[in-house]
Amino acid sequence: MIGPRRLLPSMPALLALEAVDRLGTVSAAAADLSLTQGAVSRALQGLEAQLGVALFVRDRQRLRLTPAAQEYVRQVRSSLTALSQASLRLRANPAGGGLSLAILPAFGVQWLAPRLPGFARAHPGVTVHLATRLRPFDFTTEGFDAAIHFGRPDWPGAEHLLLMEEVVLPVCAPSLIPAPLAAVKDVLTLPLLQLESRPGAWGRYLAQQGMPGQRPLGMVFDQFATMTQAAIHGLGVALLPLFLIEDALESGALMPAWPARGHGLGSYYLVWPREAPPRPPLIAFRDWIATQLV
């Protein structure tokens, strides 16, 4: 239910407030909004008069929000973001059915993207918008309907659907070794590749194979994609999620350096905000992706 209309500020006033908070000066906000400084000042004065609350403290040449106004502008920014996302979804699919999904790059490219045509055929009225996010975020400020999460089912304020547990395998190019290693300890004689965000992955894997206490070093990469290519080109042995390398294993571009699989750091989940009732496109996507799980 919408509150009293007398407390609903105009859109120009809210945009002016958000821009001044973000940029710090009326002149910068005016340039950002393509308005005159006078128009921005009048909008802010009108907003303060309407609310009956002082919103700013002048600090030299900058405007600084009062503590109460800082919380207010945070909620305003969240609402403006939600309105913008809703408008984008409407323009992209006037018949309704837009779904905004935050994805992890490797999972999105290797696992989700090849399956999305099946979802599109089953639900032609739903347009899926994908954007990369590497870390958890606040659904209320980002405007996504759902996200792919890696780790544990601990996303604050979210429901979780388990997609898969991560299974890892040490792989390399056939040019690096003529055949799989005779013993897992022999992996330590080869150059190792590791992901920047998972510095303990090799030690964890070796512990699972009965070799605790190992902390081997190796060439560091910031993305699975570049580490995979480095392994394919013979730079070393990479510990990679199995779903990322199925095609490379089948084609022979990669081979297991040691055949035993290990457990990764966590699992992959579809997550969505608990407080907001799921929209029909999200329900359709959630039900569809559940059918893709092995």
Q: What is the mean pLDDT of residues 109-114?
A: 93
CATH fold of 96-162+268-290: D-Maltodextrin-Binding Protein; domain 2 (3.40.190)
In the prediction, which pLDDT does 67 show?
Answer: 86
pLDDT of residue 61: 67
Q: Residue 92: what pLDDT?
A: 59
- 3-state secondary structure labels for all residues of the chain: CCCCHHHCCCHHHHHHHHHHHHHCCHHHHHHHHCCCHHHHHHHHHHHHHHHCCCCEEEECCEEEECHHHHHHHHHHHHHHHHHHHHHHHHHHCCCCCEEEEEECHHHHHHHHHHHHHHHHHHCCCCEEEEEECCCCCCHHHHCCCEEEEEECCCCCCEEEEEEEEEEEEEEECCCCCCCCCCCHHHHHHCCEEEECCCCCHHHHHHHHCCCCCCCCCCEEECCHHHHHHHHHCCCCEEEEEHHHHHHHHHHCCCEECCCCCEEEEEEEEEEEECCCCCCHHHHHHHHHHHCCCC
Looking at residue 54, its pLDDT comes to 86
- The answer to which of 6-10, 43-47, 284-288 has the lowest mean pLDDT is 6-10
User: What is the C-alpha separation between 248 and 254, in angstroms, rounded?
Assistant: 5
Task: Give the pLDDT of residue 204.
Answer: 95
pLDDT at 86 > cutoff 60: yes
Mean model confidence pLDDT for the chain: 90
Mean pLDDT on 147-169: 95
pLDDT of residue 55: 87
Question: Would the pTM of this model clear 0.85, i.e. be above it?
Answer: no
Query: 96-162+268-290 and 165-264 share one CATH topology?
Result: yes
> What is the share, in percent, of the chain residues with pLDDT greater than 70?
94
Architecture label for domain 165-264: 3-Layer(aba) Sandwich (3.40)
**pLDDT tens-digit readout, 201-210:** 999 999 999 9
Residue 99 has pLDDT above 80, yes or no: yes
**Which pLDDT belongs to residue 171?**
98
Average pLDDT of span 254-264:
96
CATH code for the structural domain at 5-90 = 1.10.10.10
**Reported confidence tier of residue 53, pLDDT bands at 50, 70, 90:** confident
Q: Which sequence spans correspond to the domains of the chain?
A: 5-90, 96-162+268-290, 165-264
Q: What pLDDT is attached to residue 173?
A: 97
Q: What is the pLDDT of residue 114?
A: 93
pLDDT digits (tens, 9 = 90+) for 192-242: 999 998 989 999 999 999 999 999 999 999 999 999 999 999 999 999 999
Residue 94 has pLDDT above 70, yes or no: no
Q: What is the pLDDT of residue 216?
A: 92
